Amino acid sequence: MTTTIKIRLGALVRASGGSRYAVALLVDALGTGLLRPFLLLYGVTVLRLSAPATGIAMTAGVVVGLVCMPAVGRWLDRGARSTVVAASMLVRVPGVALLLATPAGHVWPFATAALFLGIGNQAWPAAHAALVATVAHGRDRDTALAAGRALRNAGMGAGALLATACLAGGATALQALAAVTGLAYLAAAALAWSVRLRARPAATPAEARDDEPAPRMRALLAANVVYAFCLNVPEIALPLVLVTQLHASPVWSAAIFAANTGLVVTLQVPVTVLMSRFSRRTVLALAGVVLAVSYLGFLAATALGHGWGAPAVAAVSVLCTIGEIVYAGSATALVTVLAPAHVLGRTLARFELSTGFGLAVSPAVITGLAPYGPATFWGGLAAATFLSAGAVATERDRGTRLDGHDGLDGHDRHGHQEPGIRAAGARPFLSDHRIVG
């Protein structure tokens, strides 16, 4: 027996914010792909800063950018949606302008530029998730979030490929790429702002009070810090292992990164839809198990040494990417269901704060564990991720039914239909599962 699922593309685009919003996401992602992977190179090549100074400035920008998240959450809870998304894109424009205006050898203007870029990069995920949660509900929301991630990865991948082709032009090419990035951010912000979407007050069920607090989600937030490490595995951990431990060609790292991007773009929506038959919490716990098993697979692959080690790492990276896809398709969706409507913004901000913290500390943790050998490195990551998966599976949120119900059938945690904006007569873009004999 096979399960077939029909996805109506037009309805999916509408549930994701509309065609203009989709174009805004694509333009923003293209601009991000042009500069973000090469920001360190820009500091070293164009501004002639030392690599350590450049790295510290970039890290400080990301960490300080996290401070803005509580304000973003409160702004979202006042009903703003497309305005916050546009602001997260627009705030990066002065960051790019500062990059272009920074004289060679001056680190503080570069650090300020990294701060503006970091604020935008940290604020965007929560703002985007809140917008989608307002437009779509139930499993439509999950798949719309997945589609947005796939579109963003496609845009960033295309931008990075274009930028790579232009790098032969040296410092001048990097400056030109930065200028195009600023224009892309400006255009994307204008498109996102033109959507003019605000949250409508949701009808509150009798059982749910207007002053109901945000869910604590302590185990989920702590686990998410560890889960977020998987997002840096293809970019940091695997190149480090391949080059320094297996002495493999850097081509392997590039191929793994390209495969990771391609798999996310092509599989994010189908895998999210496939997992929709299970509760989001169960799927998120499963993602942790898959990631932990992949880390053990990397441990086994590195034991093969030079020769077969690199191909084995590449093969295991596919499993790691599947875990990342399952994690990304369930984590934010679970948070949007657990949060009462009036504190959705603050709840998403707390969740994205944990993600940003995980991404900020993971390079230091990964590079710090690597010298102690593969067993400590991959074994430590696997153990932490297994524990995180267990914490996610066993956590019980206040007000959530003991059976772990989290909106499996498109209802909220009180068993009522989830609020959202839907045009009169509109149908969900996912058809019912049909069993074909």
Burial of 172 (0-12, 13-18, 19+ CB in 10 A): exposed
**pLDDT of amino acid 171:** 86
Q: How far apart are CA 121 and CA 356, in angstroms?
A: 9
Mean pLDDT of the 375-395 span: 96
**pLDDT of amino acid 434:** 31
Mean pLDDT of the 42-50 span: 90
Q: Is the pLDDT of residue 131 over 50?
A: yes
Residue 83 CB contacts under 8 Å (≥ 6 apart), including other chains = 193, 198
Q: What's the pTM?
A: 0.85
- What pLDDT band is residue 8 in, cutting at 50, 70 and 90? low
**pLDDT of amino acid 413:** 47
Q: How far apart are CA 344 and CA 335, in angstroms?
A: 8
**pLDDT of amino acid 397:** 60
Q: Is the pLDDT of residue 16 over 50?
A: yes
Average pLDDT, the chain: 84
- What pLDDT band is residue 170 in, cutting at 50, 70 and 90? confident
Q: Is the pLDDT of residue 297 over 50?
A: yes
279: phi > 0 → left, psi -120 to 50 → alpha, else beta; which? beta
Q: Is the pLDDT of residue 335 over 70?
A: yes
- What pLDDT band is residue 2 in, cutting at 50, 70 and 90? very low
Beta bridge partners of 379: none
- What pLDDT band is residue 305 in, cutting at 50, 70 and 90? confident
Q: Which residue has the tokens 């990551």?
A: 381
In the numeric block, which tokens belong to residue 99?
């990059």
In the numeric block, which tokens belong to residue 253?
């790292």
Handedness of CA 36, 41, 43, 45 (dihedral sign): negative
Mean pLDDT of the 211-237 span: 89
Q: Which amino acid is at 435?
A: I
Q: How far apart are CA 89 and CA 182, in angstroms?
A: 10
Share of the chain above pLDDT 90, in %: 59
Q: How far apart are CA 240 and CA 364, in angstroms?
A: 12
**pLDDT of amino acid 380:** 96
- What pLDDT band is residue 428 in, cutting at 50, 70 and 90? very low
Share of the chain above pLDDT 70, in %: 84
Q: Is the pLDDT of residue 430 over 60?
A: no
Mean pLDDT of the 394-420 span: 50
Q: Which of 84, 334, 384, 82 is nearest to 227 (CA)?
A: 384
**pLDDT of amino acid 436:** 28
Q: What do you get for the CA distance between the two ends of the chain, in Å?
A: 5
Mean pLDDT of the 369-376 span: 90
**pLDDT of amino acid 245:** 87
